[in-house]
Amino acid sequence: MEHTIALEIQNVSKHFNPGAFNPLKRNGAKKPVLAVNDISITVQRGEIFGVLGPNGSGKSTFIRLISTLLVPDAGSVNIFGLDIERDERAVQRLINRVSVEAAFFKKLSPLENLLYGARLYGLSGADARAKIEVILKRLDLRADAINRPMEEMSRGMQQKVAIARALLTAPILLLLDEPTTGLDPRSKREVQTLVRELRDTHDATIVLTTHDMLEADGLCDRIAIIDAGRIVALDTPVELKKLVAANGHVPTSDSSAFYRTLGHEPTLEEVFLQLTGKKLVEDK
């Protein structure tokens, strides 16, 4: 493709429950929720772009809008020059999405789920099996787990199968909604390594949401911090860390002096707390 811009979002907003009836309210109306509020983002081809935000900030709605599962109320979303509404089918052939709550046929095994998914994607039986074997080996899924029912597998193992299913189509835009949630440290590192490989060797662009600050810092070329549906900061991890104020003052370009004043190199956690005043994962 000739497009150097993988994803272009212009002034996108999304409401939920506008005017829905609520018998518990005196006037019977439920207040609309503005999940995404006038967001504009440009993601370059080949970037790993991260989205951070507390629970309810709008980051999962943001991913669903890009994946064509939701239609924006205002604004536009273009993927490699294609409009997600006007060119929906063409866009869907370029993308795939992995959600933290991946859906499966729980009585079927990982292999059966992947073969079914491959058929939906138009892959022949022989091609599908060959591709599935390579992906499962790369994700280090245990041989004894391949043919067990999904319902007997851990959350981490199910998440790895969800990533394997997404990789069947070799998407050039991969949307990962908290892809390593529920994974043990080893599995998490394997998935993170795979994400880098997809970008470096398969010309894939990655957009991911995460609750893991170290993951965002280590994986992402740029990060958007979202709060209450709006972008409150967008930059590289290094530049975002410079936003942490030292003694109430915004740091200068001399980052080494800033770090000495602060007492340590700032973390993304400190950036996040300063910009939103919230924990990344809020207590329920």
pLDDT in tens, 157-204: 787 788 888 888 778 899 998 888 777 888 788 788 878 887 887 778
Q: pLDDT category, 273, cuts 50, 70, 90?
A: confident
Residue 6's H or E segment, with its range, is strand 5-16
Determine the 3-state secondary structure of 171 from DSSP: coil
Q: What is the CATH number of the domain that holds 39?
A: 3.40.50.300
Question: What is 217-246 written as a DSSP string?
Answer: HHH-SEEEEEETTEEEEEE-HHHHHTTS-B
In a domain, 46, yes or no: yes
Residue 66's H or E segment, with its range, is helix 59-66
Per-residue confidence (pLDDT) for residue 250, from 0 to 100: 45
In a domain, 148, yes or no: no
In a domain, 76, yes or no: yes
Q: What is the 3-state secondary structure (H, E, C) of 195-221?
A: HHHHHHHHCCEEEEECCCHHHHHHHCC
Per-residue confidence (pLDDT) for residue 41, from 0 to 100: 95
Per-chain mean pLDDT for the chain? 80
Q: Report whether pLDDT(249) > 50.
A: no
Give the least confident one: 58-62, 81-85, 133-137, 227-231: 133-137
What global pTM score does this model have? 0.80
In a domain, 232, yes or no: yes
pLDDT in tens, 47-62: 999 999 887 788 889 9
Rounded to 5 degrees, φ, ψ at 5 are: -100, 115
In a domain, 131, yes or no: no
Per-residue confidence (pLDDT) for residue 175, from 0 to 100: 93
Question: What type of residue is 121?
Answer: Y
In a domain, 226, yes or no: yes
Q: Report whether pLDDT(77) > 50.
A: yes
% of the chain residues with pLDDT over 70: 83
In the block, residue with structure tokens 């990655």: 206
In a domain, 104, yes or no: no
How far apart CA 266 and CA 241 sit, in angstroms, is: 6
User: What's the whole-number mean pLDDT along residues 108-119?
Assistant: 85
Residue 284 belongs to domain spanning? 1-94+175-184+210-284
Q: Report whether pLDDT(71) > 60.
A: yes
146 φ/ψ sector (left φ>0, alpha ψ -120 to 50, else beta): alpha
User: What's the whole-number mean pLDDT along residues 117-136?
Assistant: 80
In a domain, 233, yes or no: yes
pLDDT in tens, 210-228: 888 888 999 999 999 998 8
How far apart CA 57 and CA 44 sit, in angstroms, is: 24
Strand ranges of the sheet holding 48-52, from the earlier edge strand across to the other edge: 95-98, 173-177, 205-209, 48-52, 222-227, 230-235
Q: pLDDT category, 281, cuts 50, 70, 90?
A: low
Question: What type of residue is 262?
Answer: L
Per-residue confidence (pLDDT) for residue 246, from 0 to 100: 45
Per-residue confidence (pLDDT) for residue 261, from 0 to 100: 52
Tokens at residue 2, please? Answer: 């000739």
Number of domains in the chain: 1
